[in-house]
Amino acid sequence: MFLGELDPQAIGPAIEFATHYEPTPLADFEVLMKSVPPGFIFSDATFVDVGSGMGRVLMLASRYGFKQVVGVEISPALNEIARENIAVFKDAGSLCRDIRLVCADAATFALPHGNLLLYLYNPFEGPLFAQFIMRVLGETDGEVVLLYHTPTQRDEIEKYPVFTLHAETDCGVVYRKELAQEERRVDGFIARAHFEM
Ligand SMILES: C[S@@+](CC[C@H](N)C(=O)[O-])C[C@H]1O[C@@H](n2cnc3c(N)ncnc32)[C@H](O)[C@@H]1O
């Protein structure tokens, strides 16, 4: 489904770089989640679906025990459908009921603090994608794992050595963003080094 058929006026100029709406196949999501680096603690992280569409991935992610699950979607029409889907969502396997929806351009949305698992199913391209990656570089303050399904823009990520390729699957790639030296985890906390001479 192309966004231009839904609510193009509401989306504005970002529509130029948006792909179409299509939900992630369930099996693909499971494959990518199995490729998350060992040691990444779900219960200590926020899951963000960048371009969350009708909310399928958010509901699937709720089974993994994240601290919080957030969907960012530029289309008000899709976001409203996601809201309705989540309102009636009942799943015995769901471990996180804190599912939030934000209707915004993901390239300008302020990323949550702390450890993040960012999920992207090829939401947008070109300068908008570059802008998003710059925000991940500049604004995140914890561990970041990035799951990228249909990674058409992966070159933009691989320009930055701080992102290491952790896994490559048939449907996508998994990166982790290295913490700065002074932010490495010690005993479950982000240790910001204080050098007292
Ligand atoms: C391929 S769909 C993926 C939907 C969902 N993440 C999933 O995997 O089931 C890409 C989504 O990104 C959204 N999108 C496109 N440009 C966006 C932007 N700048 N900010 C936020 N969402 C955007 C589209 O509206 C669409 O819902």
Can you spell out the DSSP letters for 109-154? SPPPSSEEEEEEES-B-HHHHHHHHHHHHHH--S-EEEEEES-TTH
Question: What's 130's domain CATH number?
Answer: 3.40.50.150
> 21 lies in a domain?
no
Structural domain includes residue 192: no
Q: Is the pLDDT of residue 15 over 60?
A: yes
Please check whether residue 125 lies inside any domain of the structure: yes
102 CB near ligand 1 (under 6 Å):
no
Q: Tally Cβ neighbours within 10 Å of residue 83.
A: 16
CB of 74 shorter than 6 A to ligand 1:
yes
Q: Output 17 or 46, whichever has higher pLDDT.
A: 46
Quick count: other Cβ atoms within 10 Å of Cβ 73?
29
Q: Output the pLDDT for position 187.
A: 44
Predicted TM-score (pTM) of the model is 0.90
In a domain, 18, yes or no: no
Least confident of 52-56, 172-176, 191-195: 191-195
Does any domain span residue 176? yes
Please report which helix (H) or strand (E) contains residue 168, including its range.
Answer: strand 163-168
For residue 149, which atom of ligand 1 is closest to its CA?
8
Mean of pLDDT over the chain:
89
111 lines ligand 1 (CB under 6 A): no
Alpha-carbon span 80 to 175, nearest angstrom = 30
Q: Would residue 156 count as lying in a domain?
A: yes
| Range of the structural domain that residue 59 is part of | 3-13+26-181
Over residues 139-147, mean pLDDT: 96
Residue 189 lies in a domain: no
What pLDDT score does 179 carry?
A: 77
Give dist(CA 117, CA 102) in Å, integer: 16
Which of 59, 69, 73, when mutated, tests ligand 1's pocket best, judged by the most ligand atoms within 8 Å of its CB?
A: 73
190 within domain boundaries? no
Q: What is the CA(123)–ligand 1 centre distance, in A?
A: 4
Ligand 1 pocket mutation, candidates 11, 16, 21, 131, criterion most atoms within 8 A of CB: 21
**Ligand 1: which of 6, 31, 101, 121 to mutate, judged by most atoms within 8 Å of the beta carbon?**
121
| Predicted pLDDT of residue 182 | 54
Phi, psi of 189 (to 5 degrees): -115, 155
Does the C-beta of 61 come closer than 6 Å to ligand 1? Answer: no
Q: Span 77-92, mean pLDDT?
A: 91
**Residue 73: what residue type?**
E
Of 33-47, 71-85, 167-181, the least confident: 167-181
Number of folded domains in the chain?
1
Which atom of ligand 1 is nearest to 17's Cα?
16
